[in-house]
Amino acid sequence: MTHDNQQILVLGGTGKTGRRVADRLARLGHRVRIGSRSATPPFDWDDPATWAAAVEGIDAAYVSYYPDVSFPGAAESVRAFARQAADAGVRRLVMLSGRGEPEAEPAEDGVRGCGAEWTVLRCAMFTQNFSEHFLLEPVLDGVIALPAGAVTEPFVDVEDVADVAVAALTTDGHHGRTYELTGPRLLGFAEIAAELSAATGREIVYLPVSPSEYAAGAAAAGVPEEEVGPLTDLFTRIFDGHNAHLTGDVEAVLGRPAGDFADYARRTAATGVWRPLSRQGPAPR
């Protein structure tokens, strides 16, 4: 059964997944409330006093935590938010999580135990990290330096994550399910660099580095000091090969195959976001 004309809260609704979830829901005729610091009313994970106004009158919510669901403090915040949402009458929560990340499971459990219907979306690394997140600058510089050795990862397209989230928010049959969302192909970072080179027409290379070299580079590139350690730990944990296998969950939910990295790369190159000149203002006449 499909649920029409719901009032749906989209946490992180201006971010990579949330923005796409919100757009899809609005197109389907749902009333969307964005939950983020810049929204009205504002929602701030660090200020629980902002949560009541965000959940008031809401039927279902998309829960994406910031900065990262596996970081210290996430579980406490997500659990408290989920309980408050369920107590306020929110009937269904769809939570974004990380795949193969035991550190994210306490936050997932907070959603599972809150009393509302729930679905957990455990996602592989997003393809959009290369165009909308921390790997954009490395792509523009032509060198992707990561402590990832020769590991392969089944990158998932955020467009697919959003489609699955919308299905779970608006149709029945997803309650109590923990989906593992991956793309259709395992790719090492050297292959990613080759795909990006082909899509952009520029040489982009992968440089395997040690965790400490990565941390030093991240700090030098301006990653906030308090995020450098957790981020480096996260990569050390996820790039050990344990996530190097595919699932069919995107296709099982959507009835079509997951999007391939090459399609993402072609589509994204056409937007111009990977043209280094776009960082330097308008081109000279």
Ligand X SMILES: NC(=O)c1ccc[n+]([C@@H]2O[C@H](COP(=O)([O-])OP(=O)(O)OC[C@H]3O[C@@H](n4cnc5c(N)ncnc54)[C@H](OP(=O)(O)O)[C@@H]3O)[C@@H](O)[C@H]2O)c1
Residues that bind ligand X (CB under 6 A): 12-18, 36-38, 43-46, 64-66, 68-70, 96, 98, 123, 125-126, 129, 133
Q: Would you say 18 or 259 has its CB closer to ligand X?
A: 18
- In terms of CB distance, is 21 or 114 closer to ligand X? 21
Least distance from ligand X to the Cβ atom of residue 279, Å: 20
Distances, alpha carbon 173 to alpha carbons 116, 169, 176, 236, 255, in Å: 14, 10, 9, 36, 14
- State in angstroms the smallest separation of the CB of 4 from ligand X: 25
Q: Does residue 228 sit in helix, strand or coil?
A: helix
What is the closest distance, in whole angstroms, from the C-beta atom of residue 1 to ligand X in the complex?
27
Nearest to 78 by CA among 97, 59, 91: 97
Give the residue from 130, 125, 85 showing the smallest Cα distance to 235.
125
Q: Which residue's beta carbon is nearest to the bound ligand X?
A: 15
By C-beta, is 69 or 169 nearer to ligand X? 69
Residue whose token pair is 């952009």? 200
Exposure class string for 72-109: b at 16+ Cβ within 10 A, else e: eebbebbbebbbbbbeeebbbbbbbbbbbbebbbebbe
Cβ nearer to ligand X, comparing 202 with 241:
241
As measured in angstroms, the least distance from the Cβ of 146 to ligand X is 12
Nearest distance from C-beta of residue 46 to ligand X, angstroms: 5
User: Which residue lies nearer to ligand X by CB, 70 or 152?
Assistant: 70
